[in-house]
Amino acid sequence: MIINGKNYRTIWLADDKKSIEIIDQRFLPFEFVIEKINNVEEMAAAIKEMHLRGAPLIGAAAGYGIYLACINGKDKKDFDDYIINMAKLLESTRPTAINLKWGLNRMLNEIKKTKTIDEKIETALKTAIIIADEDVEINRNIGLNGVKLIENIAKNKNGKTVEILTHCNAGALATVDIGTATASIYEAFNRKIDIHVWVEETRPRNQGKLTAWELQQAQVPNTVICDNTGGHLMQTGKVDIVIVGTDRTTSNGDVANKIGTYQKALAAADNNIPFYVALPSPTIDWTLISGKQIPIEERTEDEVLYIEGYLNKKVENVRLFAEKTKALNYGFDVTPARLITGLITEKGICKPHELEKFFGKMSV
């Protein structure tokens, strides 16, 4: 992703090879801050407190987190137990995005195949880098598959702007690079298709500010709307396609994504607007057969009761509600497969109920 003219990923191995660097998303879009993560506990805190976020990026962070654990634990007699405990610590940080567990399992399986601690450290680094690189490749292919949908709409509109609506941030910042929902958008923009993106604000954490910022960095035309506006835009013919991301998709094609996604799927269905989910394969939970089984993250009520903004050159938190007001804060909701037109995967586009047949059964 190009930020202020320079190419970045969201996470990478630091020059000292003993720490990891990430774009600290708590300060975006106001300040561009790079945070150095020195040990596995700091990585767990960075995931939990959302210095980094987005399902695919959390999966990559799990990989680098285990690498840090291997370095931190190298002199411990009970090295193997320590790594398993650190994997549990990382897994406990965010419950809904399955990429976290997927990344941890992959790391532990690879490490298990080696004997000496040096081999384990080397394998951990190699695997973490592969996970990160694969994420970028998967997203590139999602973009190449999804762009066909946008091209078809553009053809039918005779050159008129294709209007795309997206929710939350399923962009480059939610992945290692490129993004999932944004992959097709960036590909369409590169192919000079006339597009415009409606960016939903996405209360309470307002990840829409990240989407608007990264689209702006890439010069993709976009407009922020508050979450309540999406349905009206669909009803009045101002949306051609909805593309969102996912944090966990079950084998029957049900999709957990950022809270509010379900309402947009309902509005899209009511208005015959195609509703697509960009789905990288590590986000599929083959062990669950229905979205009803997905654990939904509940976060602090403060994210609802307060709002973050930029004041006097500082990111500040301002209270929105009276003292003693109570709030409820679910991070995700489930959109049933029946409301989803298609899943855009790195292998191609499939109907949600055909997911298992399309991929062939894969294990986590």
> By the criterion CB under 6 A, which residues form the site for ligand MRU?
53-56, 97, 168, 170, 174-175, 179-180, 207, 245-247, 257-258, 331
- Collapsing DSSP states into helix, strand and coil, what is residue 20? strand
Establish whether 118 is a catalytic residue: no
Contact predicate 55/245, CB 8 Å:
yes
Which tokens belong to 65? 């987190």
Shorter beta-carbon distance to ligand MRU: residue 60 or 170: 170
Shortest Å distance, C-beta 256 to ligand MRU = 8
The contacts of residue 64 (CB under 8 Å, 6+ apart) are: 11, 13, 20, 37, 43, 128, 132
Q: Which is nearer to ligand MRU, 87 or 244 (CB)?
A: 244
CB-nearer residue toward ligand MRU: 31 or 49: 49
Least distance to ligand MRU, CB of residue 331, Å: 5
Q: What is the DSSP letter of 248?
A: E
Spatial neighbors of 233 by CB under 8 A, at least 6 apart, are 163, 165, 198, 225, 239
Long-range contacts at 79-82 (CB < 8 A, ≥ 24 apart): 79/117, 79/120
Tell me the closest approach of the beta carbon of residue 324 to ligand MRU, in angstroms: 27
Cβ nearer to ligand MRU, comparing 83 with 147: 147
Residue with nearest beta carbon to ligand MRU: 245
Whole-number minimum distance, CB 222 to ligand MRU, in Å?
Answer: 16
Query: Please, which residue, 70 or 268, has the CB nearer to ligand MRU?
Result: 268
Phi, psi (5° rounding) for residue 335? -100, 120
Please tell me what DSSP assigns to residue 17: S
CA dist 81 to 47, 86, 118, 210, 274, Å?
22, 9, 16, 38, 48
DSSP reduced 3-state for 267: helix
Check 247, 254, 285, 333 and give the catalytic one: 247
Q: Among residues 75, 55, 82, which one has the least CA distance to residue 168?
A: 55
Nearest approach, Cβ of residue 210 and ligand MRU (Å): 8
Question: Distance between CA 326 and CA 301 in Å, rounded?
Answer: 7
| Residues annotated catalytic, as ranges | 247
